Amino acid sequence: MKIFGLALPVLILFAAGSVARAAGPDLAEAKDNYMTFCVKCHGATGQGNGPAAATLHTKPRNYTDCALMAKIPDDTLFKAIKDGGASVGLSPEMPSWSKGFDDDEIRGLVAYVRTFCKK
């Protein structure tokens, strides 16, 4: 029964993973990624005022502006992160992250960016 002893925990982990996935994006992981890779331009509060923003030609938008954010669909945010700003007609200073994050992680980042607008 050695095999069973190993297989069962693996199965449970796998099932737990699927449940977490079905529950939507992992916001804690997304926050980690944002604070590591995005904060220098977009700022810790999402207002587009990170320390590197001053050197950019186009300042990142203010994600706390709910009226503005309501006009931008998730698909556009997703594409901007995955393929870079230029792919959605924005500044090419927004890099493409397709090599850094998989689609689930990018969906997480989209959800995290949305949290800056507090209604």
How far apart, in whole angstroms, are the C-alpha atoms of residue 89 and residue 111? 21
Q: Does 31 bind ligand HEC (CB under 6 A)?
A: no
Binding residues among 48-87 for ligand HEC as defined by CB under 6 A: 52, 56, 58, 60-61, 72, 77, 80-81, 85
Q: Does 18 bind ligand HEC (CB under 6 A)?
A: no
Judge whether 117 and 65 are in contact, CB under 8 Å: yes
Counting contacts by CB under 6 A, is residue 29 touching ligand HEC?
no
114 binds ligand HEC (CB under 6 A): no
Using the contact rule CB under 6 A, the part of the chain among 4-12, 14-22, 90-98 near ligand HEC is 90-98
Q: Give the separation between CA 48 and CA 58, rounded to whole angstroms.
A: 10
CB 96 within 8 A of CB 90: no
Task: Report the alpha-carbon distance of residue 112 to residue 75 in Å, rounded.
Answer: 14
Give the integer Cα–Cα distance in Å for 70 and 102: 25
Q: Point out which residues bind ligand HEC (CB under 6 A).
A: 34, 37-38, 40-42, 52, 56, 58, 60-61, 72, 77, 80-81, 85, 90-91, 93-95, 97, 109, 113
